[in-house]
A = this chain, B = another copy of it.
């Protein structure tokens, strides 16, 4: 699971206008007045079922022992989940894939100069926390998919290890060539750090959790408080996920049976240099031994020392070696066959594997999924018959690299592309505010559902509470939107959980849903993410667990039962306007900035400010970006405006659910419309990523890049490529607009 602070999620919050109450008499979005009534009944019944007490029991059971990929308890959990599903009358089975999953064989980190220190690389048990002493079953602290390596070199501190950090180091005249870098966790997918370090010539990479980011700077540390203590380490994958996720030996193909696999040496997504995560207890002597320039202010963390960048005099020895084994992952899947449109699927998932005991990540989400499943089972017994097919998936192997979901989705790719109308993901849950990221054709749908869910702490709707968060904590633009825009924005999906393959590889409209914002935590991917921590510091009454079940369950029911699938294209069109404006501004700002900087370089401005005692290096001169041809995008945007407006109008006057066959066709067309946003060639240099509107950034990982071909083309100075990508995106949007237009025509016919 991706870990983000709530403040970063604020733009993901679903918000609705204060006036947007949803009286029972109003037709539900995608339903007629008549079908709305029935739907509301079933939804009300559904929402009454999820039970916090059961959720607590599930969590205690599932997080009782370490349950990472390949562990005995991982398999036991899968089997237990299967038995639960079956006990609720659901047609469930385990689907197994076999994946490359390295585990540590040897881990050494030593400071060898100017003093000696051997890193402990241990998370000790904590008094009062009963599962923290299960050392024999715990995975050691490590980064999965680091290569084996044994390196010694001078140390350089590189802040978060992002490209802009290396630019700052360049200004200080500091190179990492031949050095081992130490980067702090945060501000990117962790796999970006060794990737960028290797691109700059480093020979090893250490990643540590600075107390500034999730330790004592943020709050009291475990076990007195929820934050990371000096021994806590963040495990995690460092694969080059923005190239492709899933089993690295089988890109694009499900790892089942005797699938053809890449040899280890041919896998492009392993790190190029050995990488190891450490605690701030272990990082402190290393950082204290650095000299060289004082780190720029944005580099400085909360350790009680002066952060220097090096290189050296600190010298470190880093050795890591792994068991490169193929391990089984166990996806637990059940299907409820649709009564009218069995070929239209609603897919919903949450992973069940953890790095260690994983109570928060992922069990706090898994228990919501379980209660949804139990509730669906009860509804079925009461006679509910969903129009469409519902597929529930408890994924395995998310932590190493979305293994269970990716292999499953690749294996079932053709079916999914044909049938999947929606994928809804969760992955951990906390207290607070509803946070939704996803496809913007679902923005209105999300807004309508959020009205119908009650916040357990405030007894107001979750949308009203989220709107309040935006009004008090958001920036000026957020506040303006929260007051004025009819539907409030959801953020785009980057990566970090199991929606990735559905959205980015297959083009299935997707959502990621959670409650968050009230509790901080610093136990992410450590042994301290356990039942003790969760029931002391997070949603200890499991009332937000219930709210999550209610939210996602309502989404599933409504999408499964709707007469017309509740996509909306006007919000999507508006979002494209926003992205188009952003890209134009990005280019213009870069033109001005590079022009001015070039002039400053020519004028000797940089040498004029350089302090002779602490000399700085002027940045290199750069080509001023050329103007790009945005006309195709503007034209496509125009077409999308027109067709989305036509569709909205047609849907508004739709009130006839009897022409079932016509609707079937219309809905199939809507499902296929989403695929128009993908391209079989994928993105430049990463063909696995097919979506032209959303992708995880090549240098952000978690963070989304929207219109990624164009945006990264500009950001990474490939202007010709950006020009071409504008044309590709414009073509996709034009096709999408045509599909919407055609759907609008069908709807006009069917609805009257």
Residues of A within 8 A of B (CB): 18, 211, 216-221, 225, 227, 294, 300, 302-306, 431-433, 457-458, 460, 464-465, 467-469, 471-473, 479, 518, 596, 600, 603-609, 611-614
A216 CB to closest chain B CB (Å) equals 5
Chain B residues with CB under 8 Å of A218's CB are: 294, 306
- Docked complex Cα distance between A18 and B602 (Å): 12
Can you list 13 A-B contacts with CB-CB less than 8 angstroms, sorted by A residue number?
A: A18-B603, A216-B306, A218-B294, A302-B304, A431-B613, A433-B609, A457-B611, A460-B608, A467-B605, A468-B600, A472-B605, A472-B609, A518-B614
A423 CB to closest chain B CB (Å) equals 30
- Docked complex Cα distance between A479 and B468 (Å): 38
Partner of A303, one of B304, B596, B605: B304
Number of copies: 2
Chain B residues with CB under 8 Å of A302's CB are: 302, 304
- Docked complex Cα distance between A604 and B433 (Å): 16
Known: A469-B609, A472-B609. A306 touches B221 (CB 8 A): yes
- Docked complex Cα distance between A217 and B611 (Å): 20
By beta carbon, the residue of chain B nearest A607 is B458
- Docked complex Cα distance between A396 and B603 (Å): 44
Quick check: B518 and A600 within 8 Å, CB to CB? Answer: no
Quick check: B473 and A294 within 8 Å, CB to CB? Answer: no
Quick check: B609 and A304 within 8 Å, CB to CB? Answer: no
By beta carbon, the residue of chain B nearest A468 is B608
Chain B residues with CB under 8 Å of A608's CB are: 458, 460, 464-465, 468-469
Known: A221-B306, A613-B518. A468 touches B216 (CB 8 A): no
Quick check: A465 and B609 within 8 Å, CB to CB? Answer: yes
Known: A460-B608, A603-B18, A608-B460. A216 touches B304 (CB 8 A): yes
- Docked complex Cα distance between A225 and B305 (Å): 12
Chain B residues with CB under 8 Å of A614's CB are: 518
A460 CB to closest chain B CB (Å) equals 6
- Docked complex Cα distance between A469 and B294 (Å): 20
Known: A216-B304, A217-B300, A468-B603. 10 other contacts (CB 8 A): A219-B294, A220-B294, A221-B306, A465-B608, A468-B604, A468-B609, A471-B605, A472-B606, A473-B609, A518-B613
- Docked complex Cα distance between A604 and B457 (Å): 14
Quick check: B306 and A220 within 8 Å, CB to CB? Answer: yes
Chain B residues with CB under 8 Å of A518's CB are: 611, 613-614
By beta carbon, the residue of chain B nearest A616 is B472
Quick check: A600 and B471 within 8 Å, CB to CB? Answer: yes
Chain B residues with CB under 8 Å of A469's CB are: 608-609
7 cross-chain pairs, A with B, having the tightest CB-CB distances, nearest first:
A468-B608, A304-B304, A468-B605, A518-B611, A468-B609, A216-B306, A220-B306
A588 CB to closest chain B CB (Å) equals 14
- Docked complex Cα distance between A479 and B524 (Å): 43
Chain B residues with CB under 8 Å of A433's CB are: 609
By beta carbon, the residue of chain B nearest A608 is B468
A19 CB to closest chain B CB (Å) equals 11
- Docked complex Cα distance between A613 and B225 (Å): 14
- Docked complex Cα distance between A305 and B468 (Å): 32
Interface hub of A294, A606, A607 (most chain B Cβ within 10 A): A294
- Docked complex Cα distance between A221 and B460 (Å): 53
Chain B residues with CB under 8 Å of A220's CB are: 294, 306
By beta carbon, the residue of chain B nearest A211 is B304
- Docked complex Cα distance between A596 and B465 (Å): 17
Partner of A457, one of B225, B465, B612: B612
Chain B residues with CB under 8 Å of A605's CB are: 467-468, 471-472
Chain B residues with CB under 8 Å of A609's CB are: 433, 465, 468-469, 472-473
A229 CB to closest chain B CB (Å) equals 11
Known: A471-B605, A472-B606, A605-B471. A216 touches B611 (CB 8 A): no
Chain B residues with CB under 8 Å of A596's CB are: 479
Chain B residues with CB under 8 Å of A465's CB are: 608-609
Quick check: B211 and A472 within 8 Å, CB to CB? Answer: no
- Docked complex Cα distance between A432 and B613 (Å): 11
Chain B residues with CB under 8 Å of A467's CB are: 605
- Docked complex Cα distance between A300 and B302 (Å): 10
- Docked complex Cα distance between A355 and B370 (Å): 70
Chain B residues with CB under 8 Å of A217's CB are: 300, 306
By beta carbon, the residue of chain B nearest A458 is B608
Interface hub of A221, A304, A473 (most chain B Cβ within 10 A): A304
Chain B residues with CB under 8 Å of A606's CB are: 468, 472
By beta carbon, the residue of chain B nearest A280 is B304
Chain B residues with CB under 8 Å of A472's CB are: 600, 605-606, 609
Chain B residues with CB under 8 Å of A303's CB are: 304
Chain B residues with CB under 8 Å of A305's CB are: 216
Chain B residues with CB under 8 Å of A468's CB are: 600, 603-606, 608-609
Interface hub of A302, A600, A612 (most chain B Cβ within 10 A): A302
A284 CB to closest chain B CB (Å) equals 9
Chain B residues with CB under 8 Å of A473's CB are: 609
- Docked complex Cα distance between A609 and B460 (Å): 11
- Docked complex Cα distance between A217 and B210 (Å): 14
- Docked complex Cα distance between A220 and B608 (Å): 26
Chain B residues with CB under 8 Å of A300's CB are: 217
By beta carbon, the residue of chain B nearest A482 is B605
By beta carbon, the residue of chain B nearest A300 is B217
Chain B residues with CB under 8 Å of A471's CB are: 600, 605
- Docked complex Cα distance between A472 and B608 (Å): 10
A10 CB to closest chain B CB (Å) equals 11
Chain B residues with CB under 8 Å of A607's CB are: 458
- Docked complex Cα distance between A151 and B607 (Å): 55
By beta carbon, the residue of chain B nearest A606 is B472
A596 CB to closest chain B CB (Å) equals 8
Known: A608-B458, A608-B465. A219 touches B304 (CB 8 A): no
- Docked complex Cα distance between A464 and B608 (Å): 8
By beta carbon, the residue of chain B nearest A305 is B216
- Docked complex Cα distance between A217 and B217 (Å): 13
- Docked complex Cα distance between A305 and B227 (Å): 12
A228 CB to closest chain B CB (Å) equals 12
Chain B residues with CB under 8 Å of A604's CB are: 460, 468
Chain B residues with CB under 8 Å of A600's CB are: 468, 471-472
- Docked complex Cα distance between A464 and B604 (Å): 10
- Docked complex Cα distance between A306 and B226 (Å): 12
Chain B residues with CB under 8 Å of A464's CB are: 608
- Docked complex Cα distance between A654 and B147 (Å): 79
Interface hub of A458, A605, A606, A613 (most chain B Cβ within 10 A): A605
Chain B residues with CB under 8 Å of A431's CB are: 611, 613
A678 CB to closest chain B CB (Å) equals 39
By beta carbon, the residue of chain B nearest A600 is B471
By beta carbon, the residue of chain B nearest A18 is B603
By beta carbon, the residue of chain B nearest A469 is B609
- Docked complex Cα distance between A472 and B221 (Å): 40
- Docked complex Cα distance between A163 and B600 (Å): 41
